[in-house]
Structure 1
Amino acid sequence: MVSLGVFARKIFGSANDRRIKALRPRVEAINALEAEMQALTDDQLRARTDELREKVAAGTSLDDLLVPAFATVREAAKRALGLRPFDVQLIGGMVLHEGSIAEMKTGEGKTLVATLPVYLNALSGKGVHVVTVNDYLARRDAEWMGKVYAFLGLTTGVIVHGLSDEERRAAYQCDVTYGTNNELGFDYLRDNMKYERGQMVQRGHNYAIVDEVDSILIDEARTPLIISGPLDDRSDLYNQIDGFIPRLEADDYEIDEKQRTATFTEQGTEKVESLLRDAGMLKGDSLYDVENVAVVHHINNALKAHRLFARDKDYIVRNDEIVIIDEFTGRMMPGRRYSEGLHQALEAKEHVTVQPENQTLASVTFQNYFRMYGKLAGMTGTAATEAEEFGNIYGLGVSEIPTNLPVARADEDDEVYRTAEEKFRAIVREIKEAHGRGQPILVGTTSIEKSEQLADVLRKEGIGQFEVLNARHHEREAQIIAQAGKPGAITIATNMAGRGTDIQLGGNADMRIQQELGDMPEGAEREAAEKAIRDDILKLKGEALAAGGLYVLATERHESRRIDNQLRGRSGRQGDPGRSKFFLSLQDDLMRIFGSDRMDGMLQKLGLKEDEAIIHPWINKALEKAQKKVEARNFDIRKNLLKFDDVMNDQRKVVFEQRIELMDGENMSETVAEMRQDVVDDLVARNIPENAYAEQWDVDALKQGVSAYLNLDLPVDEWAKEEGIDEEALRERITEAAEKAARERAERFGPEIMAYVEKSILLQTLDHLWREHLVNLDHLRSVIGFRGYAQRDPLNEYKSEAFELFQAMLGNLRQAVTAQLMRVELVKEAADAPPPEVPQGEGHHLDATTGEDDFGGDDGGVLATLQASRNVAPEDRDPENPESWGKVGRNEACPCGSGKKFKHCHGAFV
């Protein structure tokens, strides 16, 4: 019996069909303008940009200008690139302009689609950001699509690793800015660590289009971006603790692969306590005494490193470094580090140099960064399976854009074998058969280890002509993918998410021309050589088509359906024929973790022989259910992470807005005076309770507080003995003395110097306390889950305690600023000093649930050693070079040799 929903869809079409149908009239309106656009000269077409800009300035909405703007871009793309956007690409552009996600199959031209809404939204002059997954794509797309924008008189900038602040500022000032999600996020964080408004590089968050939106806003959104600076070196501790793990037995710990956790059993805990006691590293009797918190943390990390993380699967060892492998793309991520000491535990395990740990200076999740944009849109080949998350977290709808030509790919049912050996034998047979008939093959694997295992098997079978695309070779990534469509080509790829290069049957002509002709000068000879290459590509394409098109052969199911769909989608681009098939075994991770024991027993009872496969649509459905379970669990993890981060985000907004107000303000004297008064009020209220008798006053504490925070030696004890004096009179006297001292200091140094000092101290103190607050929140977050055992909601507990910590931070800010300003001593020349140097630290991308760091080091574009946080021996300091001084105590003699204390000399503003 057909359900009512299915019947209704047949009559009225799905919601997606109706939405696409509603956009068709605008497509026809754009097509109607095509002849008019073709009749314009290049200059006249370019002049349309100014005309449209004037209309926007006069109040015309961008929606009303969509048809003429899209018609203009279509004609410009034809002239600048030789590409004419199809009607379905116009629809994709409209969906992006509306602030939604356009799901477009591989090869449908998403890069070109983006130019339509980018141009329209750039007319407002507020800047448009196009976000990509890596520097290569950011550069390529900016250069390629930049020709269209330049033709129409718009400027294009690109944000990649290694740019100076001036270059970044110039790129953000352009009409269109291409950049990676990491670089944009780190720029936002660094901007909020600057000490002058003019140092900031971004100019707001108007409109962003996120390419490979599922990869960036879902896969990578499990981990916040973090900028951190190094702590003291503790490599000996890591190496010492690492030596304990090989001495443990299987009964000493429990491993949960599904949750990626490793815990000690009672027997294991006793053994570890004994090992630590013998090494003199245990304080007290129990491992779980409060004094051993740090040791417990390190020993747990060492266990995880040995039992949950596998070399050549989760990471590789290269050049005395642990280099992480991205679980979604299979790429090597240089500079990326696991957090919270886990990376150091891996370094100790593999006996490479242990790098120092880091302290958080600033952080933001991708969810909260991208939700700052006034309008957000995205495009990808696979978003429908995550539509609920896009809607819940980002308020983004998903529209499936029809393909320009019907999809002719055949997606076959999975073949399931009992063992991995049987599966690999079947894969090799299938590859040989397809290779024999000249069919190009893309073999998808889930890890480097498995791709190289398959490569070894193929070599043993005498198949030597193949390419392996994984993290070890990602420098050649684009070239390998571009030629993977040649007849008989065999390409083994770790993962196909976000590669950004199409597999074209016969090969990619432009890439071959670039490789083979290189620097050959323009002229008749080059033209002839280019024609020969293009003719050869056409011939090869015919052979590949005759052999059945690209065959996507997957060796395992990923835990996300979306990743499987990305792999499948590489075949059948632009109406080409193709096929896809997944080969599985009951020993695969997904099958093993999700209860394949029963299935194995059942298959044996059914008499499944060796090298026989079970093939049935029910198997596919069962696997999809397992994948849905994993996706739902991952969604819950991300949602939970976001709920906690939202608490911090509210505080982050307050602090960052406050910083900007401080940077914009010319005179901070009023703010400083309010803080000083708050400190006085707090001192009096704390030590002289309301309506209390004089005997109950804590006069000694009040006097000490006045000395500590106001730098005043007042006879508070004498005043308190006067007849009839009350707390109000005491408050007035202390306030008057503090105001007088502040006034005298301001007169001594002049209003300009004082204004500069007040702003500097306010900003630096706020930053210092905010960093301490971030550490406190991290610690709170790591233990708050235990409140659940007491039947209390951890999130509500976190909100409540985080608010109290924030209030305490603001109180500390008032006290610290007041105390510093009441003591500050300056030399006149300091007024001309440059603003304080911004600590840049290292960029990281931390996963709060697994402890994985998804980005960092040089790749973060923010690597810089925090010189002030490391200790340097006095004899190693160069008096002429402050950068060589490291950490200098406030009361130490200044290393410059002036004879003054550091706080009165070079440390006057620190």
Structure 2
Amino acid sequence: MALLGIAKKIFGSSNDRRLKPLFRRVEAINALEEEIAKLSDDGLIAQTEKLKERYKGGESLDDLLEEAFATVREAAKRALGQRHYDVQMVGGMVLHNGNIAEMKTGEGKTLVATLPVYLNALTGRGVHVVTVNDYLAQRDSEWMGRVYSQLGMTAGCIVHGLSDEERRANYACDITYGTNNEFGFDYLRDNMKSSMDQMVQRGHHYAIVDEVDSILIDEARTPLIISGPTDDKSELYITIDGFIPQLTEDDYEIDEKQRSVTLTEEGNERIEELLRESDLLQGENLYDSANISVVHHVNQALKAHKVFQRDKDYIVRNDKVVIIDEFTGRMMEGRRWSDGLHQACEAKEKVSIQPENQTLASITFQNYFRLYEKLAGMTGTAMTEEAEFADIYKLNVSEIPTNRPIAREDMDDELYMTAEEKYKAIAVQIADCYKRGQPVLVGTVSIEKSEILSNLLNDKKFFKKVAETLRERAAALKDKDVDLKKEMEEQASYLASLGDKKTPVPHNVLNARYHEQEAEIVAEAGAPGAVTIATNMAGRGTDIQLGGSVDMQLMRALDENDDEETIKKKRAEIEAKIAEDKKKALDSGGLFVLATERHESRRIDNQLRGRSGRQGDPGATKFFLSLEDDLMRIFGAGMEKMLKRFGIQPDESIEHPWFTKAVETAQKKVEQRNFDMRKNVLKFDDVINDQRKAIFEQRIEFMSSDTVDDIISDMRGQLVDDLVAAHMPAKSYAEQWDVEGLKEDLKNVFGKDIPVDEWAKEEGVADTEISEKLVEETNRLAAARSAEIGPDTMRRIEKAILLNVLDTNWREHLQTLDHLRSVIWMRGHGQRDPVNEFKTESFTLFEGLLDGLRRDVTRMLMNVQVRQPEEAMPQRRDIPMTETHVNPSTGENEAARSNPRSRLSAGIGTIKGRAGASAVDPNNPDTWGRVPRNAPCPCGSGNKFKHCHGSI
């Protein structure tokens, strides 16, 4: 270790060696500053065009970097009055190189992003900047949009509620800001469209992910899912629910820590017996592939009965099962458990069973962001997860030096025996900071714990009681402890005076629901004496500036009638007041960050710490813990005995560097476990991802082709070969052939009697000859069908049916994979790797999907009936769609909403926009818009639409 330290001093760390050549490039950028500054505003725009031409001429982006960065710096000075620091230039280069830049809070990551964004936007292929919420996406696109506008570039923003046209326009901009959820859902929806011109995204060239650890690690624990209702399976849920009470305790095993329950060998036999009696079992046993869906329902029913408890995990209200949030204890109206678990609970409680949602499309964040040709990220805390970024995303982390040295003091943790003692100490510490005018930011892990602390700060009796206790202790001190006695008495008098106030300690409580309001309060959290209690400070995107925020205060002070002169005057007044307040806050010690417990991840703790000490300001941080905290309770075994051995009394604490290190060691174990869990989830999704990419590429190929008759012809030929191979196996004798079975299958698919039995009677005929004859005959039948319907109409129908059948089969395939995934882990009991088993099974299922696709498409095209004029193609039917991404930290669904603008290939034809009622022309179906199937046909025939122009 000593040698390693010496080597590090001589050669520098690996991080230092990576950054050294980048600092040399900063010198070249600085040398251009004077030259670029001479350009006019029009000259800056012309500079952009010049750089674009040089890129088209063959120069690489690396060749253009120095000039591009110098140009952005000048544009930022003019548009925002902000000049990029040298370290920000280095951060920009790290991002351009496709890596993660770890920059401390307050170092200006939002501004840093403009450098690589502009450089990569010169390609004309679009750049995506990903944020954690809609507010930050809008704020950053407008704020930094002023810089891009100064450079002649456009910036768009993708937020919830935009139409497809608005999304398309925003994606067409040079730079597009948006949230991880919106980008991911747009990708999934694009791959449900029926034509290329309906898609909104234009590829995945380069993306910068803000708060990269929050998005690519924390939120990546749950996938993005678009779902729609399936067929009603209420009877199946009720039937299987009736089996569970018939099981004994020997039939299942419960693991409370993992919140899971599994059937024992006896339980398997009992369930098989009950399923067989109900005629629900196919094949020999429960785990035949045909029973995947039934096994899934059995497991969910078992979980509903044995793991999920009424009035703890959920309540029954108004004939509904309503989830209780485990973090806050509040009801989660509108949120439902997935994979049939909610329906299983509804069957258990004998309430109305709502239709189960079927996955129509899904993707993990890991696999979505790996679509980008180049990916980069920025955050204040990434080094602790460096291994995961490198392993999953192939991203290296570089720690960018701060513009000014950090002056923050990170104190050792303080440990109490009980949570009550801990909260009492926290309240007293907050009161002490409030007395000195030191701003305090209090971090909690849940809304519930924020409220506990808020109630204490509002409780007059609490402060009087603490004051009384302090006086008693001061009185018990010996005469030699005069100074301590005096200090305790003074503190007691102050706390007692707080008990006489209407609100002992004024404070703000934040949660993660209203981002705009949060940004305003967080921006003012640095004012002298401000006390702010926040549930989760990760990814707020707003700096806590000592003294307060000029912009926020000016926004509140402005009147709509204020002229430019008045605005300048108000700004000057506010700036003077904030300068005075900042001095007070600095004199009191800067921002004090007080955490009420340790998080599972050191990274989240570091994010909270990083709020203090921005840009070289002083500050302090401290964590208060108790043995009743979740982390200490689960991983702090033996700690209680040790504290008792030290003779710790009530309200006393232990504070030691050794203890702080012990807690961090426990956190490392949890981080490794969570990494392994995420990696395991990704292994399964990687299998599905290969299939997803194949299907999506096929769809794009179908949509971009003028006609798909060659594809249809190949599918028809492959289907014939498959049918012949199934009924006339290679190298078998003619008497072993199932000619009647082949003839029946051919009639089912092609709707005609094909004399294959006559061909088979010919002397010495081989299966290959029969296959060739069948291909010729089926091609002739298809050509006759096309001539009957009309070649142009047939080409349109072929494409529509191909997309429709592909989407339908893919949805069913996803549902089967969901069920397979929920039970495949049981193969581990047989010493088989569940991931490898899933690969094998899913590949077999995928081959079945392709076989079914060929059969279904061919059968539909050979039997399709068109009963309307050629120009009146049927309208697509909407399927109600719900987008889901559950936040792993809160358990809340961040994206559950119906999206009426999204369309799914559920019928044949194209969606036409409706201009308005007055624009409907009975003779022009293009003006009809979407017509409900049972509505009167707009042509005026008097028939329902489905029996007229909507029929096939």
Category of TM-score, reference length = shorter chain: 0.7 to 0.9
**Which residue, out of 679, 686, 695, partners 2:735?**
695
Q: Check whether the contact 1:335–1:855 (CA below 8 A) recurs between aligned residues.
A: no
* 1:349 CA displacement: 10
2:656 is equivalent to residue 616 of structure 1: yes
Partners of 2:64 and 2:869 in 1: how far apart? 56
What residue is the counterpart of 2:183 in the other structure?
Answer: 184
Deviation of 1:717 (Å): 3.4
CA distance in 2, matches of 1:646, 1:263: 27
1:766 aligns with 2:810: no
CA-CA distance at 1:787 after TM superposition: 1.6
Q: CA deviation at 1:692?
A: 3.2
Change (3 A) 1:406 1:292: closer
- 2:57 is the counterpart of 1:64: no
Aligned equivalents of 1:569, 1:424: Cα separation in 2 = 23
Provide the secondary structure at the position in 1 that maps to 2:458: helix
Q: What pairs with 1:234-249 in structure 2 (closer than 5 Å)?
A: none
Contact 1:484–1:491 (Cα < 8 Å) also in 2: yes
CA shift, 1:650, in A, is 1.1
1:308, distance to aligned residue in structure 2 (A): 11
Instruction: State the 1:845 CA deviation.
Output: 2.6
TM-aligned CA distance change 1:898 to 1:265, over 3 Å: closer
What's the counterpart of residue 141 of structure 1? 140
Residue 622 of structure 2 is matched in structure 1 by 581
1:254 shift after superposition:
7.7
Contact 2:312/2:324 (<8 A) preserved: no
Contact 2:873 2:950 in 1 (8 A): no
Spell out, residue by residue over 1:337-359, the C-alpha distance to the aligned partner (whole angstroms, 9 max, x if none). Answer: 54224456788999999754310
Equivalent residue for 2:120? Answer: 121
1:861 deviates by 9.1
- CA pair 350-180 structure 1, distance change in 2 beyond 3 A: farther
> 1:906 corresponds to which residue?
950
| 1: CA distance, partners of 2:547 / 2:187 | 43
CA–CA distance in structure 2, aligned partners of residues 518 and 249 of structure 1: 72
2:653 is paired with a residue of what secondary structure? coil
- Deviation digits for residues 811-839 of structure 1, max 9, x if unmatched? 11111111111101113534443774575
Aligned-pair CA distance for 1:781: 1.4
What secondary structure does 1:60 align onto? coil
Aligned to 1:479: 520
| 2:72 corresponding residue in structure 1 | 73
Q: Identify if the C-alpha distance between structure 1 residues 886 and 437 changes in structure 2 by more than 3 Å, giving closer, same or farther.
A: farther
Residue identity opposite 1:99 in structure 2? G
Report the 3-state secondary structure (helix = DSSP H, G, I; strand = E; otherwise coil) of the residue aligned with 1:131: strand
CA 543–258 in structure 1, closer or farther in 2 if over 3 Å, else same: farther
Q: Alpha-carbon deviation of 1:536?
A: 1.6
Residues 882 and 898 of structure 2 are in contact (CA less than 8 Å); yes or no, is this contact kept in structure 1? no
Q: 1:351 to 1:406 in 2, by over 3 A?
A: farther
1:789-816 C-alpha deviation (Å, 9 max, x unpaired) = 2222222221122111111111111111
How far has the Cα of 1:886 moved from its partner?
Answer: 8.7
Shift of 1:66: 0.6
Contact 1:132 1:180 in 2 (8 A): yes
Q: How much has 1:750 moved relative to structure 2? A: 2.2
Structure 1 position 192, deviation (Å): 0.8
SS at match of 2:389: helix
Q: Is 1:535 matched with 2:563?
A: no
User: Which residue is equivalent to 2:896?
Assistant: 857
Which of 578, 591, 597 is the equivalent residue of 1:550?
Answer: 591
CA, structure 1 residues 709+237, in 2 after alignment: closer, same or farther (shift >3 Å)?
Answer: closer
Contact 2:193–2:903 (8 Å) recurs in 1: no
1:31: how far off?
Answer: 1.1
Q: Does the C-alpha gap of structure 1 residues 828 and 473 become closer, same or farther in structure 2, counting only changes over 3 Å?
A: closer
Q: CA RMSD in A?
A: 4.0
Q: How does 1:183-582 map to 2 (within 5 A)?
A: 183-232=182-231, 258-259=257-258, 261-263=259-261, 294-301=297-304, 303-306=306-309, 338-342=337-341, 356-460=355-459, 461=462, 462=499, 463-471=504-512, 474=515, 476-582=517-623
1:596-622: CA deviations, max 9, x gaps?
3x2112211221111111111111111
Instruction: Give the Å deviation of 1:709.
Output: 1.1
Q: 1:81 to 1:508 in 2, by over 3 A?
A: same
* Aligned equivalents of 2:730, 2:3: Cα separation in 1: 72
Structure 2, unaligned stretches of length 5 or more? 463-498, 908-927
In 2, distance between residues paired with 1:605 and 1:307? 41
Deviations 1:59-114 (A, max 9, x none): 11110111111011001000001111111111111110111000011111100000
170 and 384 in structure 1: CA distance in 2 versus 1, 3 angstrom threshold:
same
Q: Hey, what does 1:106 align to over in structure 2?
A: 105
Measured at CA, do residues 265 and 766 of structure 1 come closer, stay the same or move farther in structure 2, by a change above 3 Å?
Answer: closer
Whole-angstrom distance in 2 between the partners of 1:211 and 1:418? 39
Distance 1:60 1:330 in 2: 59
1:557 and 1:590 in contact (8 A); partners too = yes
- Which SS does the other structure have where 2:895 is aligned? strand
2:402 corresponds to which letter in structure 1? T
Distance 1:715 1:526 in 2: 90
Q: Distance in 1 between matches of 2:572 and 2:336?
A: 47
Residue 890 (structure 1) aligns with: none
User: In the TM superposition, what are the counterparts of 1:570-649 in structure 2 within 5 Å?
Assistant: 570-596=611-637, 598-649=638-689
Distance 1:144 1:411, change over 3 A: same
**SS of corresponding position for 2:362:** strand
Give 1:801's aligned residue. 841
Against the structure 1 CA distance between its residues 409 and 335, is the aligned structure 2 distance closer, same or farther, given a 3 Å change threshold?
farther
2:884 paired residue among 844, 859, 862: 844
* Cα 1:191–1:442 shift into 2, 3 Å: same
* Closer, same or farther: CA 226–718 of 1 in aligned 2, 3 Å: same
Name the counterpart of 1:871. Answer: none
* TM superposition shift of 1:631: 0.7
- Does the 8 A contact of 1:172 with 1:203 survive in 2? yes
Q: CA deviation at 1:446?
A: 0.6
The residue that corresponds to 1:891 in the other structure is none
Q: Secondary structure at the match of 1:856?
A: coil
Bigger mean CA offset, 233-242 vs 498-507: 233-242
Once the two structures are superposed, residues 139-170 of structure 1 have per-residue CA deviations (whole angstroms, 9 ceiling, x without a partner) of 00000000000111001111111111111111
Maintained 8 Å contact 1:552/1:570:
yes
**SS of the residue aligned with 1:858?**
coil
Deviation at residue 458 of structure 1 after TM alignment: 1.6
1:323–1:334 CA contact under 8 A, matched in 2: yes
- Relative to 1, partners in 2 of residues 1:540 and 1:819: Cα closer, same or farther, differing over 3 Å? same
Residues 719 and 859 (structure 1), Cα distance of their counterparts in 2 relative to 1, 3 Å cut: closer
Identity %: 57
- Is 113-122 or 682-691 further displaced after alignment? 682-691
User: How far, CA to CA, are the matches of 2:286 and 2:334 in structure 1?
Assistant: 34
Aligned mates of 1:20, 1:114 — CA distance in 2 = 17
- The match for 1:4 is 3
State the number of aligned residues: 875
Q: Structure 1: which 5+ residue stretches go unaligned?
A: 869-879, 888-894
Contact conserved, 2:193 with 2:905, CA < 8 A, in 1?
no
Deviations 1:11-49 (A, max 9, x none): 222111122222111111111111112222211122111
One-letter code aligned to 1:34: E
* Residue 298 of structure 1: how far off its partner (Å): 3.1
Change (3 A) 1:478 1:647: same
Q: Distance in 2 between matches of 1:178 and 1:513?
A: 26
Distance 1:211 1:539, change over 3 A: same
What secondary structure sits across from 1:306 in the alignment?
Answer: coil
Note closer, same or farther for the CA distance 1:721–1:281 as it changes in structure 2 (3 Å cut).
closer
Aligned-partner SS, 1:857: coil
Distance 1:268 1:408 in 2: 65
